[in-house]
Amino acid sequence: MTKTIQWFEDRESTRQLPSECIADCSGSGDATENVKYWVNRLSFDGPKDLFKEYLEGYGAWDDKQLEDHEENKMRVLWTWACNCFEDPGSYAYLYLQK
């Protein structure tokens, strides 16, 4: 079982995404089922307000969509996995701005 990704001072991930997660959740095509799997497997969660603020920076979701924390967990994991895939050295850990 993979360990839970926790947060240091609620802003910084304390561990990296497993390489299998990055491979499963990034790339072309619909990765919804893979992302759901990894959110559950990692017990992936984080600060609601910081997840929402992080996702607002992408400009891809409106305020109403960003009210759903369960969806936001999936969005954050998906964007993080895609960033890790595209630029592994820069996104090993997820940093959330306060």
What pLDDT digit, counting tens, does each position of 38-72 carry? 999 999 998 899 999 999 999 999 999 999 999 99
Distance of CA 72 to the CA centre of its chain: 8
Name the average pLDDT for the chain.
87
Task: Say if residue 95's pLDDT is above 90.
Answer: no
* Among candidate residues 47, 49, 54, the one with its CA nearest the CA of residue 78: 54
DSSP type of residue 64: T
Task: Say what the pLDDT of residue 9 is.
Answer: 65
pLDDT category of residue 1 using cuts at 50, 70 and 90: very low
To the question of pTM greater than 0.85 for the whole model, the response is yes
Q: Between these two residues, 44 and 27, which has the higher pLDDT value? A: 44
User: Would you kindly state where each structural domain of the chain is located, as residue ranges?
Assistant: 7-86
Burial class (CB in 10 A: 0-12, 13-18, 19+), 98: exposed
Higher pLDDT, 95 or 73: 73
